[in-house]
Structure 1
Amino acid sequence: MEAHRIFFERPFDYKYAREYSGTLMTPTLWITAAYVILVFGTKAYMKDRKPFDLRRPLQLWNLGLALYSGAAFLIATKEILSTWFNKGLTATYTDINSFYEGTCGAWAYLFMISKYYELGDTAFLVLRKRPLLLMHWLHHLTTLNLVLAGYHYDTHLYSWLLWMNTFIHTLMYSYYLLASCGYRLPAGFAKKITTMQIIQFCIGLSILAHIGVLKLFTDREVHCNWRMWWGTVFMEILYLTLFSHFYYVSYIKDGGKKFVRDQNEKKQVKAQ
């Protein structure tokens, strides 16, 4: 199959894009295995070496992801609100074919592709010798495979996952961009982003619960097979657990001493 057809043929061919995404599933498993090996291999390699100064590449990286996320969020917002007003809220995560067609469809495909790109976040952490959390690398590799499968199997609840994720990533990568440029931002902003991520997972689980009820007790058409439903439920619970634990350790345990300590360490790094 020809990947260039997806972006250079008009109108956007969702059926072809779905078929092509299916050919990526096995290679992506190999990519995620290589990702884990490279991440921990590089981490071991960097153990006795000085961190790289990657400030300028990091700024460009964060700028690109902030701009992409903002554009994708605006395009998704238009399509979701249009479906909401015309067909009702439930249709926005059960039967929203228009989300995967035309301009929005191309951006939905880009969202899937962006999950490969975002694996690079980890390279900046490892090469700059920043803490590598289980939450970070596990979230990246599982999200990549889950989004790819969701796209291939025509899982319409992913319209909401894309919508929420791109909104949070717009704020998150903008925050990272400003921080990498040396701007001092309110200390509580990172805490608010983590809070929004936790809320995102709770909303996702609520949508999944409603979809489960619809599939069990109604004849309504729902674009979500049971395998994707169970897989997404598992991942959302996993993410909720990981991010909630991070929130507790960082902002609640011992009065949030870890958060204060991390902020002081960042100030020391900037002063050097």
Structure 2
Amino acid sequence: MDGYIIMRSPSQLIAIVITYFIFVFKLGPWLMKNRQPFDLKIVVVLYNLSQIIWNFVTFMQLASHFSHFSIFCSEVENSNYELGIIFARLHYTYVLMKIYDFVDTVLFVLRKKSQQISFLHLYHHSMIFFCSWISGKYFPGGHSYYLTLANTLIHSLMYSYYLFTCCNSTYARNSPIKRHVTLLQIIQLVLVLLIYFLALINPRCSYPKYFLVFSSWNFLIMIFLFSKLYIETYATTTKVKDK
């Protein structure tokens, strides 16, 4: 993986994350302080469309190799044979996608939608990128395959929803689909957590246990945050309507 841009050193990982947070908390608000929100509807539409295509194409490429993996244990793919090179490239593609996800936040800043930049939003974007970079650099392929597979599918569906609501603002305010998108994200995390747990308790699985523990801990945090969002947003709304 050393031959790929941004994959040579952890310092590149740290620099990207720090730059992201500097823009979100300092540079972005400073640039927008005395400006009106930018009208970026066309940019947002194109961004969502590009995310749909990129995620779905990557998902299909990943799914075509499903038979090479086992939910009980998928070893790190560190060979220089054709299959190892394919998985390394797919993993690298996924890392680039996680950097591209940061554009989401940049667009929120430029449109002055600071209410969308929650702790969950920032934690999810930064930690998924952090974990994907670490696994791509040191443990390409292997058990992390299941996260990339599930995440690209869910993101293709999620950005399809975003694209539709962007083009129809009336529907966006009353859409019943939004809660299902959040629920899908929770289900995705739970399933991947269970798959990681199977490898973790398998004594004959050589996939690094410490990384499985670290990733699982992050999945638990994200499950908690997404569940909290779901309950506060939808369960509370339902109770108000019932009253």
Q: Fold-level match, TM-score > 0.5?
A: yes
Show CA shifts across 1:210-248 (max 9, x none). Answer: 111113xxxx343x2133122101211111111111111
Equivalents in 2 of 1:45, 1:16: separation in Å?
36
The one-letter code matched in structure 2 to 1:146 is: C
Show CA shifts across 1:103-141 (max 9, x none). Answer: 554233201111111111101111112221111112111
Tell whether the 8 Å contact from 1:67 to 1:170 is kept in structure 2 after alignment. yes
Equivalents in 1 of 2:25, 2:161: separation in Å?
27
Give the equivalent residue in structure 1 for 2:92.
109
What is the count of residue pairs matched by the alignment? 232
The one-letter code matched in structure 2 to 1:125 is: F
RMSD over aligned Cα atoms = 2.6
**Is 1:176 the counterpart of 2:158 in the alignment?**
no
Return the match for 2:112 from 124, 129, 133.
129
The one-letter code matched in structure 2 to 1:181 is: C
Give the equivalent residue in structure 2 for 1:8.
none
Return the match for 2:11 from 8, 26, 31.
26
Tell whether the 8 Å contact from 1:251 to 1:257 is kept in structure 2 after alignment. no
Cα distance, 1:95 vs. partner? 3.0
Structure 1: runs of 5 or more not aligned: 1-14, 259-272
What's the secondary structure of 2:216's corresponding residue?
helix
Map 1:180-259 → 2, pairs under 5 A:
180-182=166-168, 184=171, 187-215=175-203, 220-222=204-206, 224-255=207-238
Equivalents in 2 of 1:182, 1:99: separation in Å?
45
Give the equivalent residue in structure 2 for 1:67.
53
Structure 2: runs of 5 or more not aligned: none
Give the equivalent residue in structure 2 for 1:5.
none
Show CA shifts across 1:65-97 (max 9, x none). Answer: 1100011111111111x236xxx5435xx2374
Higher relative contact order (CA 8 A, sep 6+): 2
Tell whether the 8 Å contact from 1:250 to 1:256 is kept in structure 2 after alignment. no
Equivalents in 1 of 2:239, 2:31: separation in Å?
32
Cα distance, 1:182 vs. partner? 2.7
Equivalents in 2 of 1:55, 1:240: separation in Å?
31
**Is 1:150 the counterpart of 2:135 in the alignment?**
yes
Give the equivalent residue in structure 1 for 2:36.
50
Give the equivalent residue in structure 1 for 2:75.
95
What's the secondary structure of 1:247's corresponding residue?
helix
Give the equivalent residue in structure 2 for 1:7.
none
Tell whether the 8 Å contact from 1:150 to 1:158 is kept in structure 2 after alignment. yes
Report the CA distance shift for 1:99/1:252 in structure 2 as closer, same or farther (over 3 A). farther
Equivalents in 1 of 2:184, 2:82: separation in Å?
24
Equivalents in 2 of 1:89, 1:31: separation in Å?
32
Report the CA distance shift for 1:100/1:63 in structure 2 as closer, same or farther (over 3 A). farther
Tell whether the 8 Å contact from 1:25 to 1:145 is kept in structure 2 after alignment. no
Cα distance, 1:47 vs. partner? 4.9
Equivalents in 2 of 1:68, 1:137: separation in Å?
22
Report the CA distance shift for 1:221/1:120 in structure 2 as closer, same or farther (over 3 A). same
Report the CA distance shift for 1:206/1:96 in structure 2 as closer, same or farther (over 3 A). same
Equivalents in 2 of 1:127, 1:257: separation in Å?
33
Equivalents in 2 of 1:173, 1:229: separation in Å?
28
